[in-house]
Amino acid sequence: MERALVIIKPDGMEKGIVGKVIACFEGVGLRVSGIKMARATKAVVGRHYIADRTWLMSVGKNAKAADAKRGIVTKETEMQIGMRIRSYLMNELTRRPVVAIVFEGENANSVARKMAGATEPRSADKNTVRGMYSTDTYQLADKEKRAIRNIVHVSDSPKSANREIKVWFRSSEIFSE
Ligand code: ADP
Ligand code: MG
């Protein structure tokens, strides 16, 4: 049985949709096996969004693609953009307490990511958590020099889930079937 980590980010907390978000993931067959509310420090967010070269480059690449669609050409490298967004995430995730949840199920990571939807809420499918509960865009986040507010973080593979879960939970706080 696979585990996935979901974090209800500060914007999801602000909107008062903790129950609704959990219901979405439970609705696609995932079961809660660990849950807590936590106020993250920048150090914890830094360990969660680890400065992994591949991830930083992919964030930079996506940002450049979004810029290009708007006809904007940036001088920043993909790596520099990745680092800048990682620092935005440290501010964003420490704005207010979050809820961290370990979900279990068959293919938990791909199932949870499908339910979460695309990174940019404005272009996320309407039947996804991000599409239903946020309308944020790359453009607005850029203008306000902050991370995109897309309600949830979802781990992207069993491997990253296992690493990320250790950032937020002790093994004694997870209850498997
Ligand atoms: P996902 O959360 O969909 O896996 P990423 O791992 O690429 O997306 O990025 C992590 C988080 O960083 C996103 O959920 C979003 O909050 C933020 N983010 C990503 N790209 C940008 C960007 N170009 N501008 C602002 N924030 C961004
Ligand atoms: Mg990601």
Positions marked catalytic: 153
**Sign of the CA dihedral running 150, 23, 156, 4:** positive
Q: How far apart are CA 59 and CA 61, in angstroms?
A: 5
Ordered mean pLDDT values, 10 residues apiece, the chain (177 residues): 98 98 99 98 98 98 96 95 98 98 98 98 98 98 98 98 98 94
The shares of helix, strand and coil residues in the chain, as percent rounded to the nearest 5, are 50, 15, 35
pLDDT score at 177: 81
Residue 94 alpha carbon to ligand 1 centre in Å: 16
User: What ranges do the domains of the chain cover?
Assistant: 2-49+97-170
Ligand 1 atom nearest residue 118's Cα: 3
Q: What are phi and psi of 2, to 5 degrees?
A: -90, 150
Q: What is the fold, at CATH topology level, of the domain defined by 2-49+97-170?
A: Alpha-Beta Plaits (3.30.70)
Q: Full-prediction pTM beyond 0.95?
A: yes
Cα 140 vs. chain centroid, distance in angstroms? 18
